[in-house]
């Protein structure tokens, strides 16, 4: 079954956040009941792969101001039939950042959520079942490049104020997880 790896990751993942745990269960149900869950042709929704991309020093994270959605978001996008969701997140990180040197910090899910995508240019409204991984820019000083999908791209040490209006709960949760991850690594070092 081409969905087995994602199903196993979703079954293993548990969140301390009630809303994320609710989304995990809904995404797991969606993947189990939709053989075409990785395809845009599934008009109810589809799996997307995203990331929380930290800089080389682990002090900042990269966000894109999405051209279509007009808001600051982590990097990511459609699976387009690729059932290797880590590969999807890595590909999207490369394409949307222009960075050549990116590494996977962990093969475990970092975060997940379901978000509604409004109708756009004839594509009906649908849901993105977004699976996120923690990635790191693995070469110091490499320059980012804005892609056609973005109006801006920037490193942040805190969330941009405008992002808190529409996606504040999810982004604040991701920021908290990232900071806790670094605090844990610092304590264990």
Give tens-digit pLDDT for 58-109.
999 999 998 877 888 999 999 999 999 999 999 999 999 999 999 999 999 9
For position 25, what pLDDT does the model report? 98
Average pLDDT over residues 98-124: 94
Answer with the residue of higher pLDDT: 188 or 6: 6
List the alpha helices (DSSP H) in the chain. 4-12, 18-33, 85-97, 163-188
- Rounded CA-CA distance 43/127 in Å is 8
- Global pTM reads 0.93
Confidence of residue 168 (pLDDT cuts 50, 70, 90): confident
CB 45 within 8 A of CB 130: no
Residue 41 in this model has a pLDDT that exceeds 60: yes
pLDDT tens for each residue of 157-166:
998 777 766 6
What's the CA angle centered on 64, arms 31 and 126, to 5 degrees? 35
- Rounded CA-CA distance 71/166 in Å is 8
Residue 189 in this model has a pLDDT that exceeds 70: no
How far are the Cα atoms of 133, 171, 179, 180, 188 from residue 185, in angstroms, in the given order?
17, 21, 10, 9, 5
CB 125 within 8 A of CB 131: no
Confidence of residue 1 (pLDDT cuts 50, 70, 90): very low
126-137 and 111-117 strand pairing: antiparallel
- Rounded CA-CA distance 9/129 in Å is 14
For position 183, what pLDDT does the model report? 80
| Domain of residue 32, CATH code | 3.90.79.10
In this structure, how many other beta carbons lie within 10 angstroms of the beta carbon of residue 79? 24
Q: Average pLDDT, whole number, for the chain? A: 92
> Domain of 130?
4-188
Residue 32 in this model has a pLDDT that exceeds 70: yes
Percent pLDDT > 90 in the chain is 76
CB 3 within 8 A of CB 31: yes
For residue 80, which of 97, 92, 63, 94 has the smallest C-alpha distance? Answer: 92
Q: Encoding tokens for residue 92?
A: 């999207």
Residue 60, classed as helix, strand or coil, is coil
* CA 68, 94, 126, 116 torsion-angle sign: negative
Residue 18 in this model has a pLDDT that exceeds 80: yes
Residue 31 in this model has a pLDDT that exceeds 90: yes
Total number of domains constituting the chain = 1
């Amino acid at each position: 079954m081409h969905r087995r790896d994602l199903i196993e990751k979703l079954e293993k993942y548990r969140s301390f956040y009630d809303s994320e745990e609710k989304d995990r269960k809904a995404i797991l149900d969606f993947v189990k009941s939709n053989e075409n869950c990785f395809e845009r042709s599934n008009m109810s929704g589809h799996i997307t792969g995203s990331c929380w991309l930290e800089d080389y020093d682990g002090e900042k994270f990269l966000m894109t101001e999405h051209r279509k959605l007009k808001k600051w978001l982590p990097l990511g996008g459609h699976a387009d039939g690729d059932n290797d969701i880590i590969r999807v997140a890595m590909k999207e990180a490369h394409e949307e950042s222009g960075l050549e040197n990116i590494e996977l910090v962990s093969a475990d899910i970092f975060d997940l959520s379901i978000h509604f995508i409004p109708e756009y240019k004839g594509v009906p409204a649908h849901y993105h079942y977004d699976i996120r991984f923690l990635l790191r820019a693995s070469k110091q000083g490499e320059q980012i490049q804005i892609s056609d999908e973005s109006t801006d791209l920037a490193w942040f040490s805190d969330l941009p104020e405008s992002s808190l209006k529409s996606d504040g709960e999810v982004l604040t949760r991701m920021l908290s997880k990232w900071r806790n991850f670094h605090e844990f690594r610092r304590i264990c070092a």
